[in-house]
Structure 1
Amino acid sequence: MIDAASVLSHARLVATVLALAPLALALGVDAARADGRMVAKYSLSVAGVEFGRGTFVVQASDSAYEISGTARITGLMRAVANGKGRAAARGALAGGRMVPRVYAMDAEADGKEESARIVMAAGAVKEMDVEPELKFYPDRVPVTDAVLKSVLDPVSGAFVYMAGTADMLSAAACQRVIPVFDGRQRYDIALTFQRIEQVKVEGYSGPAVVCGARYKPVAGHRPSRYTVKYMQDNKDVYAWLVPIAGTRLMAPFRVSVATMIGTAVLEAEAMEMQAVDGTLSVSAPKP
């Protein structure tokens, strides 16, 4: 049986996760040619109860991308937790992979504010400003320069780039390990192919590639923490990916994660996509 304290604690955890999720902040950047654009609205629920809502705005060409959006706690959960967040990333599509250049995040969960600014070059972290600073604990695995090479920020890491001309709706979409650094933790998300499934939502109807996902901490974590052990052993994490029209990027349609109080589901409620001929100009909605 789950007591009220456990529900409250977990609600706050989900609030923090939602606020830190890759659902975003607009960045002032030089314009670049855009071949595809998507505006997607998502809802987050845990055990069938709505926790929050968010929006992605994505634009990409054959050589660059920008991703932006917002997220906030909604529904009954606002009575026990409060959270909202903005984050964004921009970068290049080169050498068959996503190469982030700038990542920014601002979040507030239960009155506590957090922010991160990361500048990268050739996939390696060059500059970083994270508030508040990560607390020292003797058992925390140190984050070294050696593990901050060939990494993606969490916004970029939420998408899959399919280089070349191969079929995007294939097992190849899941045949990868996503190396992520969020300013505090360095971890890998290992994807494995499960199946192709038909999905339907306002703006998109068609196949989705379903991937299994495993969390593998690398640095910045505390191995003794129960939540770290739980997620490391969690085999019930899945992601449904769909292609963004006019691009070689695949977006999350649904993400399902087993938690201690039920399954958490981030799911698209609308996905407006279009192939375009213009410039990248991402404008995030207000949180």
Structure 2
Amino acid sequence: MSIRNIALGTLVAVGTVGVAKAETLNMTHSVYLGGFFMGTFQTEFNQLNDSYSIKAVAKSNRKLDWFFTWDAVASSEGKLSGNKILPSEHRYQSKWKDEQRGAEILFQTAAPPKYELTGKKPNNPKKSTPLKHVELMKAVDPLTAIMAATFKLESDGKCNGQYPVFDGRRHYEINLKDIGVASFKKSNYSVFKGEAKGCRITYNKLGGFKKNSNFELEDDLDIYMAAPVPGGRIVPVRMSVDTELGGFELHLERYKFRDVQLASRNAK
């Protein structure tokens, strides 16, 4: 399990389709491995009637630069039409150690998305499974996919469904499964305490993956979702995974929505 894999499930803000006025949600998640602070994910979500935008920024702990450095910025924009979520564009830039890569995707309603890669590109495309461009017409970007899933959780209380995703390099399907409710006690690391809905995220590779290799998306993620305050929006509040290096934990350390501003005691 890597910090890059965790990002897919946590660089997300959520809302409810049909909001009558402009609203903004900000949150920060902190990540710990074996008790050591590894970095943060900051997310801003904006929604106005029939449109949305998401911006997410990830940074590793600068005290660990001698070991690894990871920075990433992702953004998505799109339209909301009834129960439909229609992404218009997605951008992503990351730096892992000294390696930089990114992608820009422009979604189209009647044609496959246009996309362009930046940074390191595949040396030999023949070593990867092919992308079926017609099938990409059904896909959305990673941030929009998780947003769509949380819309569903808010509307009917269920964590389930399949969401096809294209990130500019790989095409895969996110599968969600309800794993019940868990209760979390008060913590210095998190603004949340109480019961949260559990969602298990698994993946089905469709195209753009290296052949005969075990890609990290094969790992499952269990993420717990809840509103930190009554009347608030549902967001990821906790995740815990056992690894060979120790427990990998994610906590909601800051939450800002409307007149509510929360911060944990250990907020960075």
Q: Please give the range of the TM-score, normalised by the shorter of the 2 chains.
A: 0.7 to 0.9
Contact 1:143 1:219 in 2 (8 A): yes
Counterpart residue type for residue 135 of structure 1:
N
Question: 2:224 aligns to what?
Answer: 240
Contact 2:8 2:143 in 1 (8 A): no
Q: Distance between the aligned counterparts of 2:248 and 2:224, measured in 1?
A: 14
User: Which of 136, 160, 176 is the matching residue for 2:124?
Assistant: 136
Instruction: Please show how residues 49-68 of structure 1 align to structure 2 within 5 Å.
Output: 49-68=36-55
Change (3 A) 1:225 1:156: same
Instruction: Please show how residues 214-229 of structure 1 align to structure 2 within 5 Å.
Output: 214-228=202-216
Question: 1:149 aligns to what?
Answer: 137
2:92 paired with 1:108: no
Contact 1:51 1:76 in 2 (8 A): no
Contact 1:39 1:273 in 2 (8 A): yes
Deviation at 1:269, TM superposition (A): 0.7
User: Which of 179, 194, 204 is the matching residue for 2:179?
Assistant: 194
Structure 2 residue matching 1:155: 3-state secondary structure: helix
Instruction: Please show how residues 24-35 of structure 1 align to structure 2 within 5 Å.
Output: 34-35=21-22
Contact 2:232 2:257 in 1 (8 A): no
Deviation at 1:221, TM superposition (A): 0.9
| Percent of aligned pairs with the same amino acid | 19
Instruction: Please show how residues 35-184 of structure 1 align to structure 2 within 5 Å.
Output: 35-74=22-61, 76-122=63-109, 125-131=112-118, 132-136=120-124, 138-159=126-147, 160-162=149-151, 168=155, 170=157, 172=158, 174-184=159-169
TM-score by length of 1: 0.72
User: Which of 230, 252, 255 is the matching residue for 1:271?
Assistant: 255
Counterpart residue type for residue 91 of structure 1:
G
Contact 2:141 2:166 in 1 (8 A): yes
Counterpart residue type for residue 56 of structure 1:
T
TM-score by length of 2: 0.76
Contact 1:36 1:244 in 2 (8 A): no
| Stretches of 4+ aligned residues off by more than 6 angstroms | 18-22, 244-249
Structure 1 residue matching 2:123: 3-state secondary structure: coil
Contact 1:244 1:273 in 2 (8 A): no
Alignment root-mean-square deviation, CA: 3.5
Counterpart residue type for residue 212 of structure 1:
R
Contact 1:246 1:275 in 2 (8 A): no
Structure 2 residue matching 1:145: 3-state secondary structure: coil
Q: Distance between the aligned counterparts of 1:138 and 1:95, measured in 2?
A: 41
For these two proteins, the number of residue pairs brought into alignment is: 248
Deviation at 1:64, TM superposition (A): 1.8
Deviations 1:208-257 (A, max 9, x none): 321112121111112421335xx42x45x201123599999743223445
Q: Distance between the aligned counterparts of 1:145 and 1:62, measured in 2?
A: 31
Deviation at 1:62, TM superposition (A): 4.0
Contact 2:54 2:75 in 1 (8 A): yes
Change (3 A) 1:213 1:126: closer
Does 1 or 2 have the higher relative contact order (CA < 8 Å, sep 6+)? 1
Question: 1:252 aligns to what?
Answer: 236
Gaps of 5+ in 1: 1-9, 25-31, 277-287
Q: Distance between the aligned counterparts of 1:264 and 1:110, measured in 2?
A: 20
Counterpart residue type for residue 184 of structure 1:
R
Gaps of 5+ in 2: 13-18, 261-268
Question: 2:170 aligns to what?
Answer: 185
